[in-house]
Amino acid sequence: MQVMVGQAEDALVITVLESRLDAAVAISFKDIVRDVTIPDGMRVILDLKQVEFLDSSGLGAIVGVMKLLGPERPLEIAALSPPVRKLFRLTRMDTVFRLHDHAPPAQEIRAAE
């Protein structure tokens, strides 16, 4: 499980470098993001452009990450592939997360795994 952390103009961008964000990697995904230092007041954009498959455990981990970050660091989600978008629609998570078609351009800070 690998992510890339980047700094955009007014947000931190966390890009998931996995094609499957599933039950096998959900816990390590949550642990990795927990270890990323994010200042209060910074928006966090989760870039899922490489994720072709998300299951309920991966979705649960994203919700868990949102709770870890808290209201001071709002989590938004970018670049949902068609099956990922469908999962958000079926669970109505598309009504509670702010979604973007693309993540903003970001300067890579580091890779984490």
Partner 1 sequence: MVDLIATGTDLHGTCRGRLLDVRKAMQRVERFMLAQDVAPETWDDLNLVMSEAMTNIARHAYPDQEGSIGFHLHLDQTAVRCCLVDSGIAFDPSSTGRAAPEPSAFPEGGYGWFLVRSLTDTLSYNRKDGVNTLRFSILHGVTRP
Q: For 111, how many CA atoms within 13 A lie in the half-sphere containing its CB?
A: 5
Q: How many CB atoms lie within 10 A of CB 10?
A: 10
**Toward partner 1, which CB reaches closer, 83 or 108?**
83
**46 touches partner 1 (CB under 8 A):** no
Among 7, 83, 102, 111, the residue binding partner 1 under the rule CB under 8 A is 83
| Cα 37 from Cα 90, distance rounded (Å) | 32
**68 touches partner 1 (CB under 8 A):** no
Q: For 12, how many CA atoms within 13 A lie in the half-sphere containing its CB?
A: 20
Contacts to partner 1 by CB under 8 A: 20, 22-25, 53, 55-57, 59-61, 63-64, 66-67, 82-83, 86-87, 89-93, 95-96
